[in-house]
Structure 1
């Protein structure tokens, strides 16, 4: 089964409201639909969400690297030869999101060829995950109102709170307002997107010590090496590395260097193959993991839940699987549904997804 064609189709779907956080804000999902075609008529599909403020990729750069570099290198290879494909992709540095989408599209092909769901091929631990919801920058009352709406409408009881503003006290006040309004039965954790200094992070964590936070993520920059190690050594809750660990080697450096004590795994960044390697690293070292979100649409979210539900370790915490709720539309013919705080994987071979051709025609940007 040979790869015959690779497509990178840019599309853009507006958000209902901007999602704001320390390293930027998102108004439009300007993503790339990646398709891998084979000589047996099977087509694998995935989504690449560019995040220029994090990894330097843009919609235009993903399309260019797939069309001009990756597609010529992997066309003609076996769709089952993932190691050969990865060896070709790794000749080019960076571009993690483009590489991840190609990897997941290949897994979709492999699942279809085997007549099995990708979730089962990856591990098959469960067919669903509990969902956490991300609450972005806004006045405290608006953040509380959003969290209450999401809780009441979807049954979600875990919330990731974006912090990292300066002065830091507005974020402390927002977290306190959320804990007061939502009560002790709801899980809260914070994500700074590298917005604070190590000293600001330490002060903020002290002031929030009574809020029973589950963990803290990327409060200060990874390149503040000594400051971050100092902060992590004093943190009473797990410190999650996210943007700082785009590769398995980065995971090793952050953990062994004392700059993190838990890891966020994002399939949008490491696909299924490298995500599995990172998960194995973390399990071998006794390190907790969480399934993160790169502000994915429904296609990317479907990939994330397929991987997360497949493994015992990644189902222990709620996965970040709800950002698509803020989009005005999506490309899936059958939209995802969050019910009772959980999201199920799709039945059927591969990833079980189908693209609505009319929606793709409406939102694609390469006409």
Structure 2
């Protein structure tokens, strides 16, 4: 089970429409496919999505750090030495999605070697999750129409609404339009991507106080320490920390400092090894947990699903598992299918996906 090679393959797949949120917008999934090879001939895969607006990572930077820094430190270790891998990757500051992809590809290779699903290796709580869909910036009628499509076509009934970049009244009008259209048939929560001030955030939440929101996520900047604590103290729903908690240490600071009361776990950011630490910390502190999405493709979504189905707390709420629907294509030989508002994990070993070699050849950028 020794690791013999690590590949970092850039690829680009256009989105069917630009994805817009407070910290920026993206027009194509310019991601990196990471493959970990072993001396047994097993190949583990994972996906690293660059998010320069959030973590400062770029596609070229992810490739460089994996091939030039991480691979030399990891090659020669076995798939069971995951803590050794984590310690060596931790020597390098930042690069969260690059580290996460290497970690998850190792877990995938381990699952394939043992002929067991990663979800069962992690905990094996369930085989499915309810799906939450992200609605990006647009006019109220357009966003309502997209929600209608998701309900009718996929049975999705939980929506995360992107807010925070525009005037408060425009964003609250969208959320109100969604609630008026669907009533109590759907669950709603909002994500500001740190786009409002603390005062704007409180004003918005007061305007939406009658809309029965599940959560509020990252409404204002994490570095507005006093404003954020003040805001969280005014809210009567859980305030989710996301971009502000890339590590377990950050979780501890945010929660004990009174700057958040719930967490978004993103395997694209913390892999499986560090996500497990964050999960156990959240469980010990009694925090609500949502499985977030880093605008992953289907490989990344399968990783989120594998972790989310492993534990009771991570499968309690709908997971953000549908962003791949905005991509014009993907890399999988057998695409993921959302049915009746749920995504079922594969019973296959590892994370349960197979890369289509023809699609990879079509979309890879290093040809």
Do the two structures share a fold, i.e. TM-score over 0.5?
yes
* CA distance in 2 between partners of 1:252 and 1:33 (Å): 31
- 1:300 Cα shift? 0.2
Question: Could you say what secondary structure the match of 2:17 adopts?
Answer: strand
Equivalence for 1:364: 364
2:173 paired with 1:158: no
Where does residue 249 of structure 1 map in the other structure?
249
Q: Could you list the per-position Cα deviations for residues 154-210 of structure 1 after superposition, in whole angstroms to 9, with x for gaps in the alignment?
A: 000000000002311100101000101121121000000000000000001001000
The residue number in structure 2 matching 1:122 is 122
State the distance in 1 between where 2:309 and 2:39 align: 31
| Structure 1: distance between partners of 2:103 and 2:344 | 22
For structure 2, the residue ranges without an aligned partner over 5 or more in a row are none
Q: Matches of 2:85 and 2:273 in 1, distance apart?
A: 11
Quote the Cα distance in structure 2 between the aligned partners of 1:124 and 1:213: 30
- Aligned equivalents of 1:72, 1:358: Cα separation in 2: 29
Q: In the TM superposition, what are the counterparts of 1:204-283 in structure 2 within 5 Å? A: 204-283=204-283
Work out the CA distance in 2 between the residues paired with 1:310 and 1:344. Answer: 12
Q: CA deviation at 1:67?
A: 0.7
**Which residue is equivalent to 1:50?**
50
Identify the residue that residue 23 of structure 2 maps to in structure 1. 23
| Root mean square deviation of aligned Cα | 0.6
User: Which whole-Å deviations, capped at 9, do the CAs of 1:11-41 have from their partners, x for residues lacking one?
Assistant: 0000000110100111100000000000011
In the alignment, the residues of structure 1 paired with residue 352 and residue 207 of structure 2 have an alpha-carbon distance, to the nearest angstrom, of 46
Structure 1 residue ranges, 4+ long, deviating more than 3 angstroms after superposition: none
Q: Give the TM-score normalised by structure 1.
A: 0.99
**Runs of at least 5 residues in structure 1 that lack an aligned partner in the other structure:** none
SS of the counterpart of 2:184? coil
**After the TM superposition, which residues 316-335 of structure 1 pair with which residues of structure 2 at under 5 Å, given as runs?**
316-335=316-335
Partner of 2:40: 40
CA distance in 2, matches of 1:270, 1:301: 14
Give the aligned partner of residue 11 of structure 2: 11
Number of corresponding residues: 367
State the SS of the aligned residue for 2:12: strand
Distance in 2 between residues matched to 1:124 and 1:94, nearest whole Å: 30
